[in-house]
Structure 1
Amino acid sequence: MEKIHGLIDAPFTPFHPNGEVNYEPIPAYADLLARNGLKGVFINGSSGEGYMLTEQERMLLAEAWVKAVPAHFKVIVHVGSTCVKSSRRLAEHAQQIGAW
């Protein structure tokens, strides 16, 4: 198993004032973290408000992060849920989009 050497961040999920997820800042957020020497992110966990998001929002957020990060930057996706079937769908999706 590959190990992460260095720091990873558990970033907050950006929201619009109306409570909808704001995906627009993610590329700049990813760039800032990479420029500051971080090696990856852990998204959709408690710092990322994952439990407050729908399954679709969690998937779109994972896609946005995977798309935004530079090569060799790790995106770890929290897939836990109170529903086993949902966790499985989230895990399969994370694998399909190339999350670490």
Structure 2
Amino acid sequence: MLWAFLVLDELWKGPQQFNELKRLLSFLKTQSLTDTLRHLEQNGLVHSEVFPTVPVTVQYSLTEKGSNFQAALKEMEKWGQKWGSNRHE
């Protein structure tokens, strides 16, 4: 899922409620965001916490597995910046 990386990047900054994520990722359709969050939660990368408000509030955060995965992605990004396709050192 392509959108998963963008959602993980937003959650790397800290826990977010669904509507905050929807606002930050406004180009993403609501159903796509919902599907992406479910997929990430099923794979143990994201945790959801439901608050009994009216309407119900759901907050998403990275699990330890999700944080470790995001850290690995950040290191890959650094590697890409150093060794990008234009560098042949």
| TM-score normalised over the length of structure 1 | 0.27
* Rg larger for: 2
Structure with the higher fraction of residues in helix conformation = 2
Structure (1 or 2) with the greater strand fraction? 2
